[in-house]
Amino acid sequence: MRVSILAVGRSKPGPERLLTDDYRARFDALGRGMGLTALDIAEIDAKGAGRDAESARLLDRLPQGHTLIALDERGKTMDSLAFSTLLTTARDEGIPGMAFAIGGADGHTDAVRQRATRLLSFGKMTWPHMLVRAMLAEQLYRALAIAANHPYHRAG
């Protein structure tokens, strides 16, 4: 199964990018033996285009047959165990891929929210979009670590 992050904006060199790249590499290494391809991050360049154009470009980049999960302030929160189950259940059911959408500064349009199978929130606080990438990459890696019974996830 393919896993993708579709993110509006371009990441710049810095600590958030380093952190995202680190968890992406960890995901890739652990995922190989678990039926998951490398974590793909597609950056949607829509600088100054506005929310409608950002959302249209994001939906255009959604791979065929992928389940879309939009990170959205209106979404529901999940704990890491439930997130792991979401990912591994999709894999086990033969879903070709999952794509996680991170909108621009003004969020997603109704078109993205309606196309998404699920709206996911990282809580009620507002997070910088580049940090959300790192947090999502970490949770994707953690989801695999939980499924593999890897010691990375120690919560009991």
Ordered by start, the domain boundaries in the chain are 2-147
pLDDT at 68: 98
Query: What is the pLDDT at residue 148?
Result: 94
Q: What is the pLDDT averaged over residues 8-22? A: 94
Size of the chain, expressed as the number of residues it contains: 156
DSSP letter, residue 122:
S
Share of the chain above pLDDT 90, in %: 81
pLDDT at 15: 94
pLDDT per residue over 117-154, tens digit each? 999 999 999 898 899 999 999 999 999 999 999 888 77
Beta-strand pair 66-76/2-8: unpaired
pLDDT at 155: 62
Name the nearest CA neighbour of 57 among 96, 114, 7.
Answer: 7
CA-only gyration radius of the chain, Å: 15
Beta bridge partners of 86: none
Task: Decide: pTM greater than 0.85.
Answer: yes
- Distance between CA atoms of 139 and 129, rounded to whole angstroms? 15
The stretch 37-63 carries a mean pLDDT of: 90
Beta bridge partners of 101: 6, 70
Tokens for 56? Answer: 């249209």
CA distance 25 to 23: 5
Q: What is the pLDDT of residues 70-100, one digit of tens each?
A: 999 999 999 999 999 999 999 999 999 999 9
Rounded to 5 degrees, φ, ψ at 152 are -55, -45
Structure tokens belonging to residue 97: 């891929």
Quick one: fold of 2-147? Alpha/beta knot (3.40.1280)
Average pLDDT, the chain: 93
